[in-house]
Amino acid sequence: LGELAARGARVRIAAGALPHETIIIDRRWAILAGADAPGGRAYTVTGAPTLVGGVHALFEAAWEAATDLASFLRGDQPHLDAGSRTVLRALGSGATDEAAARELGMSLRTYRRRVAALLDALDAGSRFQAGVRAGELGLSG
């Protein structure tokens, strides 16, 4: 993978295995691998726009949740202090910002500032991605 990245390929590492191999060609065609079976694996080729679009959306979600190869190899793991871990737990609880801030005894503005700092520390573009990244890094709230 390192050689591919050195040649310009963008490589990301997912936290878990993806269910099946999939190839998307020009966002117009998808080749979907079936389950591995004793008689061999079946493949489906489709050009149905709705299906190809759905498969592409799943790929994009997996790509965004994955870690880039350089970070994965460096083992980048941000240090989260006790306050950040508390905010991470609050995010995981699914509570609204207002309820979480109240529960943690801080103003809504402070809570949102702490959430923004947490997203930055985890190099995440969304709260969902922060949760995935925290899980990848083995960080608990």
Residue 75 confidence (pLDDT): 66
Q: Tell me which residue range forms the domain holding 95.
A: 82-137
Do 57 and 88 share a domain, yes or no? Answer: no
Per-residue pLDDT tens digits for 47-75? 999 999 999 999 898 888 788 887 777 66
- For residue 36, pLDDT over 70 is answered with yes
The number of C-alpha atoms within 13 Å of 38 and in the hemisphere containing its C-beta is 0
Same domain, 63 and 92: no
Q: How far apart are CA 109 and CA 97, in angstroms?
A: 9
Mutual orientation of helices 82-93 and 127-136 as an angle, nearest 10°?
A: 120
Q: Is 133 within 8 Å of 123 (Cβ atoms)?
A: yes
Q: What is the pLDDT of residue 68?
A: 81
- Residues 86, 66 share a domain: no
Residues 47 and 94 in one domain: no
- pLDDT confidence tier of residue 76, bands split at 50, 70 and 90: low
- Do 86 and 128 lie in a common domain? yes
Determine the pLDDT at residue 73. Answer: 73
Phi and psi angles of residue 13, each rounded to the nearest 5 degrees, phi first: -115, 125
Identify whether residues 45 and 86 lie together within a single domain: no
Cα separation, 68 vs 140, in Å, equals 21
**Cα 35 to chain centroid, rounded:** 24
Domain count, the chain: 2
| Between 66 and 29, the higher pLDDT residue | 29
pLDDT at 125: 87
Question: Where does a domain end: 32, 51, 74?
Answer: 74
pTM for this prediction: 0.49
Do residue 6 and residue 46 come from a single domain?
A: yes
Residue 125 belongs to domain with CATH number: 1.10.10.10
User: Do residue 45 and residue 87 come from a single domain?
Assistant: no
Asked if 38 and 99 sit in the same domain, the reply is no
Among the candidates 35, 54, 74, a domain finishes at 74
